[in-house]
Amino acid sequence: MGVVVRGGAWRFATPRKSVTDSEGSRGDAVVKRADFFNEMFEQGAVRWPYKGLQGWMGEMPDEFRSLKQAEAEELFRRIGITFAVYGEGGDPERLMPFDMFPRVFAQDEWRRLERGVIQRAKALNAFLADVYARGEIVRAGLVPRDLVYRNEAYEAAVVGFTPPRGVFSHIVGVDLVRTGPDEFFVLEDNCRTPSGVSYMLENREIMMRLFPGLFRENRIAPVDGYSEELRRTLASVAPRKCERDPKIVILTPGAYNSAYYEHSFLANLMGVELVEGQDLFVEGEFVWMRTTEGPRRVDVIYRRIDDAFIDPLCFRPDSMLGVPGLMDVYRSGGVTLASAPGAGVADDKAIYCFVPDMVRFYLGEEPILQNVPTWQCARADDLKYVLENLGELVVKEVHGSGGYGMLVGPKSTREQVENFRKRIEENPGNYIAQPTLALSTCPTFVGEGVAPRHVDLRPYCLVGDRVTLVPGGLTRVAMTEGSLVVNSSQGGGVKDTWVLSE
């Protein structure tokens, strides 16, 4: 069994031999599964989405494979895609291991995922529009007031402002794991500026170069429409005062940012300028970009800078990355910021538990994708369960991130568990707990040939005048045998993700 950890770093997990005997009803679906779901082989037979890869896999001689692997690495190195995903730190120049064995979804599997992700993205945006206006979901008593309004990500400076089309989070990254043929769980939502989409695009590009035959033999839905769909989405949320074809730019913190490659990659694909704060300035009611031909007005800014840094006049006065006066222009309808400042309150760990309620409240639908069952220690019943099963659970601080202040029960010594028990008892409201999850596996090239390795998935949902999802996403894979650690700093790699058209 494995442990899945949400937080600043993507996640990690460790293998465990025994199957837990926990009785928690919410945990049953995931905790009691003795075996990991293998996405290619089910009871010895090949699941049909992978049929097209069976022959390819079997026919590949070792020498050919190492040749192709070396070619892939050379390609990645040449294009310079070397950034760390999700601010994990580590060497920004390090190459992410690329596994050539694709991860495949059948069309019907994908349709369900797609509906689930789109539903979630809509609900998260409805929640944001609501908590910055009348707060109906809070008034209805479904989400505790303090959790929203005292949240660090709740931005009072945008209260009362409705961004174009009511969209706050224009790119929603939803992190998913699979535990069975029809069982998907959302680990976390990313409503601010989810990164990694350049891997989705580059992985495909490289696979097509390495194995053009595969793309003739299999009907694989293309993902290269993403950049145009992103551009279209951003154009569809032009500000109130824009009466022309909107000018779009990407605002980056600069070349030292770990995702700078992605910023320049997307700007290039969309055909828009990549700018830093110093390239923009506010004059009168608008934001302008310095160019060699004089100032040009900017209408939509896809910003890859955190809220706190985008405007030193409104937020952190010491920020050198932002544009002074930007928030005044934004609030008076002169420019659109994507994502909207304050969008982070929707992807907070404590708010995560309420996303299924949001789906029901705003959309009147049942959630298609499930949350990982979460016990909130603030509730007496949950606390009792958590304390009784501490050795089996992952316990996290509500506001912690980056894996700090966290207990991974199955991986901890008795002493560590007992120490943590005291901390929970002292301040239960500060902790949530989740069961260990059995991540699915996908065949992966390893030294000895092909072997199952654990994977997860991050699709990227675009929200503008319509809500769309490119058929694909970023699959991350734990390259070490038995490991559930898909985090790149822990030896995780990436795969091309296929959605079959038929």
Angle at 86 between CA 166 and CA 203, to 5 degrees: 95
370 binds other proteins (CB under 8 A): no
The count of residues interacting with other proteins (CB under 8 A) is 33
CB of 287 to other proteins, least distance (A): 11
Looking at residues 211 to 270 of the shown chain, list those that interact with other proteins (rule: CB under 8 A). none
Give phi and psi for 52, each to the nearest 5: -65, -15
Q: Near other proteins by CB under 8 A, which window of 17-25, 223-231, 331-339, 439-447?
A: 331-339
Q: Near other proteins by CB under 8 A, which window of 182-190, 324-332, 377-385, 389-397?
A: 324-332
Beta bridge partners of 103: 497
- Name the 3-class secondary structure at 432: strand
Q: Under the phi-then-psi rule, with left for phi > 0, alpha for psi from -120 to 50, and beta for the rest, what region is 301?
A: beta
- Of these, 205, 276, 279, 328, which contacts other proteins (CB under 8 A)? 328
Q: Are strands 467-469 and 441-446 parallel, antiparallel or unpaired?
A: unpaired
CB of 441 to other proteins, least distance (A): 44
- Of these, 312, 435, 459, 493, which contacts other proteins (CB under 8 A)? 312
- Of these, 17, 78, 150, 216, which contacts other proteins (CB under 8 A)? 150
Q: Which two tokens stand for residue 178?
A: 């699979």
Report the alpha-carbon distance of residue 484 to residue 96 in Å, rounded.
Answer: 17
332 binds other proteins (CB under 8 A): yes
Q: Near other proteins by CB under 8 A, which window of 90-98, 157-165, 407-415, 434-442?
A: 157-165
CB of 346 to other proteins, least distance (A): 16
334 binds other proteins (CB under 8 A): yes
* Helices (H), ranges, 95-219: 107-131, 136-139, 145-149, 197-210, 212-217
CA distances from 13 to 167, 210, 364, 455 (A): 35, 31, 35, 11
- Of these, 41, 56, 149, 215, which contacts other proteins (CB under 8 A)? 149
Return the beta strands (E) in 171-294 as ranges: 171-180, 183-190, 248-251, 273-275, 280-283, 286-289
Dihedral sign computed on CA atoms, order 424, 400, 407, 24? positive
Q: Which is nearer to other proteins, 126 or 266 (CB)?
A: 126
324 binds other proteins (CB under 8 A): yes
295 binds other proteins (CB under 8 A): no
Name the residues that contact other proteins, by CB under 8 A. Answer: 132-133, 135, 138, 145-146, 149-150, 152, 154, 156-161, 281-285, 312-314, 317, 324-325, 328-329, 331-334
